[in-house]
Amino acid sequence: MAPRSDSSNTLRYPRLTPPRAFEMPTSRPLLFDELLTAADEALRAVGGAGHPQRPSPARDARPELSDAERRLSGALMRVNHVGEVCAQALYSAQALSTRNPTLRRGFEQAAREETDHLAWTRQRLRELGTHASLLNPLWYAGAFGIGLLAGRAGDAVSLGFMAETERQVEQHLAGHLEKLPEQDSASRAIVRQMKDDEAAHAASAERSGGLPLPAPIRWAMRAAAKVMTTTAHHV
């Protein structure tokens, strides 16, 4: 998710100057090929067809887990996989919404980089002998709609939404590191790398001019995430 993003190479977005933060650019036609691309990305995210560009951080780990530990890790990694499905939807919608070609490329790059997380968590679910969330099409559709709304609010707001989303995901992943079984070195390695990547994405969006979101919006985002993570833990 092609330029890469890691601890030494973070995403770069066009810096937005304050006078232009809320300026709505002239509309551009919504091209048919963009819709086809968005549909293809949706099918790949929900169907698990994406391929990572980086090797999995868990590639050398083969932990021995009890049945209870395996079930716990499976539930937590299913939640993390749902988060990556939603990230694909958000970035795809935000890229589709912006009129700024450079910013659009930045969102597309972020989506490609999140494809690594999507593939890593999907593979780990297979190794744990469990399934991805049965509601992934619903999660994707909901996140895509939210991404469209954020994008239509303007580039500065869209970048601010990205930064806040990534900060909340980073906190969520930190909580999972506390819950995952100590013996599950494979899942823990994946979650640690994801956490580092999300922090880098958030910092890049903030530096590029993302506006801080009002507290009520941040609270609503946390509430929606709570519903999603609680449901995906089981379904």
What's the pLDDT tens digit per position in 209-230?
888 999 999 999 899 888 888 8
Q: What percent of the chain has pLDDT over 70?
A: 79
- When comparing pLDDT for 220 and 13, which is higher? 220
Q: What pLDDT, on a 0 to 100 scale, did the predictor assign at position 44?
A: 55
The pLDDT confidence band at residue 190, using thresholds 50, 70 and 90, is very high
What's the pLDDT tens digit per position in 38-87?
555 555 555 555 677 888 898 877 888 999 999 999 999 999 999 999 98
Domain borders along the chain are: 31-42+67-232
Q: What pLDDT, on a 0 to 100 scale, did the predictor assign at position 5?
A: 41
| CATH, range 31-42+67-232 | 1.20.1260.10
6 forms beta bridges with 9
CA distances from 137 to 47, 79, 187, 204 (A): 9, 14, 24, 29
- When comparing pLDDT for 46 and 112, which is higher? 112
Whether 124 contacts 157, CB under 8 Å: no
The pLDDT confidence band at residue 19, using thresholds 50, 70 and 90, is very low
Is it the case that residue 35 has pLDDT exceeding 60? no
- When comparing pLDDT for 26 and 51, which is higher? 51
The whole-angstrom separation of Cα 172 and Cα 155 is 26
Q: Which of 164, 169, 165 is nearest to 80 (CA)?
A: 169
Whether 132 contacts 125, CB under 8 Å: yes
Q: What are the tokens at 152?
A: 């239509």
Q: What are the tokens at 163?
A: 């930064």
Q: What pLDDT, on a 0 to 100 scale, did the predictor assign at position 29?
A: 47
